[in-house]
Amino acid sequence: MPEAYIRARDLTKKYRSGAAELTIFDHLSLDVQRGEMLALVGESGAGKSTLLHLLGGLDSPSSGTIHYGSREITGLAASEQSDFRNREIGFVWQIHYLLPEFTAQENVMMPLLIRGSGRQTAAAEALARLDEVGLVARASHRAGELSGGEQQRVVLARALVGKPSVLLADEPTGNLDFRTGEMIFQLLENLHRTHQLTSVFVTHNLSFARRCDRVLNLDRGGLVPEGPSNSQPGSNPGYL
């Protein structure tokens, strides 16, 4: 049985709301196999985005651990965690967070420049990723000059420019019309395969979710299989 690449164990996340303490989930465990494309679904407010933020090292659990391979990211110092995110994880958000005063190419270059790569290297890598998402001809256009679908393709290019092994996406088609959303999801599927990624998608779109290898429903603090998947990479790890 192959060992899962992402392993979350006994995750508890609580927030203070006035005098009350709000528990999002308690002792939640999850395994994601290397190469798997996993969809997380559930009602608004169930904690899907919170879980994704924890998996990405953008927030810390109240208790529990998260491992990528043999490395526990919950025990890293803030600077180490930031470097880990930059090198290991690509993020795609519903809101694209592009810098409007910069071109598509410059936006895609940012993760490499933050890493310390030379500008020439970063520019070449950014063009290669923009070409991969069909936007190399728009590389010199500022973000505000691009359509919503084009902006989201820039986000995909930015997420992959650092050659991560993991892609985390939070409602990547949520702000798009159905036709554009379909195009973006097809692109996500293709990029997942060609870059040999391990991907976790949060989505409200069940038709997109069911095209993933596995669908888990976050409901009342627990993860429940949503239904049969299209394929099963590896065998059941014993955890959801």
Q: Which CATH number does the domain housing residue 204 bear?
A: 3.40.50.300
Q: Is the pLDDT of residue 121 over 70?
A: yes
Task: Look at residue 203 and tell me if it is in a domain.
Answer: yes
Spatial distance between the Cα atoms of 21 and 149, rounded to a whole number of angstroms: 39
pLDDT in tens, 188-235: 999 999 999 999 999 999 999 999 999 999 998 899 998 644 444 433
Task: Tell whether 144 is covered by a domain.
Answer: yes
pLDDT of 238 > 50? The answer is no
* Residue 202, domain member (yes or no): yes
pLDDT tens string 134-161: 999 999 999 989 999 999 999 999 999 9
What is the per-residue pLDDT for 232? Answer: 44
Does residue 60 fall inside a structural domain? no
The whole-chain average pLDDT of the chain stands at: 91
What is d(CA 146, CA 149) in angstroms, rounded to the nearest whole number? 8
Residues 73/81, Cβ–Cβ less than 8 Å = yes
The answer to whether the beta carbons of residues 168 and 90 sit under 8 Å apart is: yes
- Residue 84 near residue 57 (C-beta atoms within 8 A): yes
For 39, 103, 157, 198, the CA distances from 160, given in Å and listed in that order, are 19, 17, 5, 12
pLDDT at residue number 227 = 63
Mean pLDDT of 48-53: 95
Question: Which residues on adjacent β-strands are paired with residue 74?
Answer: none
Across the strands, what pairs with 23? 14
pLDDT for position 213: 96
pLDDT at 164: 97
Domain residue limits at 129: 36-46+78-225
pLDDT at 2: 64
pTM over 0.85: yes
Q: In which residue are the tokens 């040999």 written?
A: 196
- CA–CA separation, 64 and 69 (whole Å): 16
Whose tokens are 């394929």? That residue is 231
In a domain, 52, yes or no: no
CA–CA gap between residue 144 and residue 49 (Å, rounded): 26
Provide the pLDDT for residue 207. 92
Question: Please, are residues 166 and 90 in contact by the beta-carbon 8 Å criterion?
Answer: yes
Q: What is the 3-state secondary structure (H, E, C) of 121-170?
A: HHHHHHHHHHHHCCCHHHCCCEHHHCCHHHHHHHHHHHHHCCCCCEEEEE
Structural domain total, the chain: 1
pLDDT single digits (tens) 7-44: 999 999 998 888 888 899 999 999 999 999 999 999 98
Structural contact between residues 201 and 40, judged by C-beta atoms closer than 8 angstroms: yes
Separation of alpha carbons 130 and 200, rounded Å = 22
Residue 51: inside a domain: no
- 168 vs 45, higher pLDDT: 168
Percent of the chain residues past pLDDT 90, beyond the cut = 81
